[in-house]
Amino acid sequence: MVAPIRVGIAGLGTVGVSVVRLLARQSHALASSTGRSIVLSAVSSRDRKRDRGIDLSSVEWFDDPLVLATSDKIDIFVELIGGDEGPARAAVEAALNAGKSVVTANKALLAKHGMALAKLAEDKRVALAFEASVAGGIPIVKTLREGLAGNQIVRVYGILNGTCNYILSRMEREHMSFADCLAEAQRLGYAEADPTFDIGGFDTAHKLSILSSLAFGTAIDAGAVHIEGIETISLADLQAAEELGYRIKLLGVAQRTSKGIEQRVHPTMVPRSSSIAQVMGVTNAVTIDADAVKELTLVGPGAGGEATASAVVADISDIAKGVRSVPLGLPVASLDHSPRVAVQRHEGGYYIRMSVFDRPGAFASIATRMAERQISLESIMQRSGNGTKTANGPGDPVPVVLITYATTETIIREAIESVVKDGYIAEKPQVIRIERE
């Protein structure tokens, strides 16, 4: 009879507790599918006395995750501590060095140290599995690394942060301000007390850097991602998008270009008829454009205890079956270290909202500065804050919306900077990319 495989979990927060429950609930099914029992033998967490609603009486407790990581009582180390340094990094490195396979949901750790950890796993001939690090319960890592092995991937993009998608969805549906939606997200537990990592786009950037490595065979480089968050999105932007036939989403986009791999995170206007525009609330979605399958979209819960635990247990199951995939799809030595690529020409054009002082020369300045850089305008609309035509007094700032045809990020920014220097703009302009059908 094959010996049980013993699991040690470091971190008993929402995800850790859900993993414990899922392993217990699915114990018979997992044993049947893997050919061996999967046994939770040890855990580590800071507070032994906290009531987590699970029975850990038969499990050995370690106060120090580093000791758990190297214990001869476990075969698989599951890291659910979080953070790109400190105990999480030390424990994962210790487990790999001790010849133990590791399962982690820690995208920050992988975005910063994924290359070194993958190399260590290769050297020790053990698994480093991280399905839960991107898009929660969506099996995107396995899809890119194994399911699409016969494809050349052109682009991978999607909604990778449930907090941002919840806020934008609620603002649109209930006409709530960004501040009110953020406060509600914090009350419901969708956003942290300090939400910067989510709403600033950094969480999405970490996840995108991992997906980009898997999709294109490149080294993980989170520093190469162009990042914009959703902090400046207003109800006026959402209403303008609706009138134009679009919906605003925070997208992470990685695509192959003639100059290398472009990676960017930013708010985007997507056609309301598109599949990704239908993804609302805390749900995530990832679309892959490839030569053989053409377009493939995976949609599902991007966060939450049960969804993330599902991905963790799937990795544990693979390891129990003896699956030892190269962590990043290719050996670290074979990964391409492409130069960082600036944001390329955007074929969909741009939405630009400016608060323009209503005085002689203002609109001529805008038209001139755009024409100087050969930016073609599809339309120009003067609006009030609530989206209707304005009737402000002479000289007062009025919202003006420009829709451009295809141009580059650099040219757009240069034109806007020139308009600002002319002294006709009351506040920083809003710029959002438009994705056409």
229 pLDDT more than 80: yes
Domain end residue (candidates: 283, 301, 319): 301
Mean pLDDT on 338-362:
81
pLDDT at 387: 44
Q: Which of 305, 278, 289, 276 is nearest to 159 (CA)?
A: 276
> What is the spatial distance between Cα 347 and Cα 435, in angstroms, rounded to a whole number?
8
pLDDT at 9: 98
Query: Are 330 and 390 contacting, i.e. CB atoms less than 8 angstroms apart?
Result: no
- What CATH number is associated with residue 245? 3.30.360.10
Is there a domain that residue 124 lies in? yes
pLDDT at 390: 47
Is there a domain that residue 231 lies in? yes
Mean pLDDT on 330-353:
83
Question: Per-residue pLDDT tens for 208-222?
Answer: 999 999 999 999 999
Residue type, 405: Y
Question: Per-residue pLDDT tens for 1-49?
Answer: 588 999 999 999 989 999 999 999 999 999 999 999 999 999 999 888 7
Annotated catalytic, 207?
yes
Residue type, 202: F
Q: Of the residues 100, 107, 207, 249, which is catalytic?
A: 207
> What is the spatial distance between Cα 291 and Cα 312, in angstroms, rounded to a whole number?
30
Question: Per-residue pLDDT tens for 57-69?
Answer: 889 999 999 999 9
> What is the spatial distance between Cα 70 and Cα 92, in angstroms, rounded to a whole number?
10
Range of the domain at 389: 350-434
Q: Please provide the average confidence, as pLDDT, over all residues in the chain.
A: 91
Q: Tell whether 171 and 264 lie within a shared domain.
A: yes
Is there a domain that residue 410 lies in? yes
Q: Tell whether 161 and 90 lie within a shared domain.
A: no
Between 189 and 266, whose confidence is greater? 266
Kindly state the tokens that stand for 253: 């986009």
Is there a domain that residue 179 lies in? yes
pLDDT at 259: 85
> What is the spatial distance between Cα 401 and Cα 353, in angstroms, rounded to a whole number?
4
Is there a domain that residue 123 lies in? yes
Q: Tell whether 219 and 288 lie within a shared domain.
A: yes
Q: Tell whether 162 and 124 lie within a shared domain.
A: no
**Residue partners of 258: CB distance under 8 A and separation at least 6:** none
Is there a domain that residue 328 lies in? no
Tell me the C-alpha to C-alpha distance, in Å, between residue 56 and each of 15, 48, 50, 317, 318: 16, 10, 11, 21, 24
Please give the helix or strand (H or E) that residue 368 lies within, else none. Answer: helix 362-372
- What CATH number is associated with residue 49? 3.40.50.720
Q: Tell whether 173 and 71 lie within a shared domain.
A: no
pLDDT at 389: 45
Question: Per-residue pLDDT tens for 316-332?
Answer: 999 999 988 899 999 99
What angle, rounded to 10 degrees, do the helices at 162-174 and 235-244 form?
80
* This prediction's pTM: 0.90
Which of 56-65, 97-106, 182-191, 281-290 is the least confident region? Answer: 182-191
| Reported confidence tier of residue 225, pLDDT bands at 50, 70, 90 | very high
| Reported confidence tier of residue 193, pLDDT bands at 50, 70, 90 | confident
pLDDT at 50: 86
Q: Tell whether 370 and 223 lie within a shared domain.
A: no
Please give the helix or strand (H or E) that residue 308 lies within, else none. Answer: helix 305-321
Q: Tell whether 183 and 273 lie within a shared domain.
A: yes
Is there a domain that residue 324 lies in? no
Question: Per-residue pLDDT tens for 66-124?
Answer: 999 999 999 999 999 999 999 999 999 999 999 999 999 999 999 999 999 999 999 99
Q: Tell whether 171 and 278 lie within a shared domain.
A: yes
Q: Tell whether 375 and 259 lie within a shared domain.
A: no
Domain end residue (candidates: 102, 133, 164): 133
Between 320 and 357, whose confidence is greater? 320
**Structural domains of the chain, count:** 3
What angle, rounded to 10 degrees, do the helices at 362-372 and 409-421 form?
150
Domain end residue (candidates: 133, 159, 189): 133
Q: Tell whether 128 and 148 lie within a shared domain.
A: no
- What CATH number is associated with residue 373? 3.30.70.260
| Reported confidence tier of residue 437, pLDDT bands at 50, 70, 90 | low
pLDDT at 33: 94
DSSP states of 41-57 as a string? Answer: EEEE-S-SSS--SS--T
339 pLDDT more than 80: no
pLDDT at 410: 85
286 pLDDT more than 80: yes
Q: Tell whether 368 and 430 lie within a shared domain.
A: yes
Q: What percent of the chain has a predicted confidence (pLDDT) above 90?
A: 73
Kindly state the tokens that stand for 321: 């079956």
What angle, rounded to 10 degrees, do the helices at 86-97 and 107-124 form?
10
Is there a domain that residue 372 lies in? yes
Kindly state the tokens that stand for 39: 């046994």
Q: Tell whether 100 and 163 lie within a shared domain.
A: no
> What is the spatial distance between Cα 47 and Cα 263, in angstroms, rounded to a whole number?
40
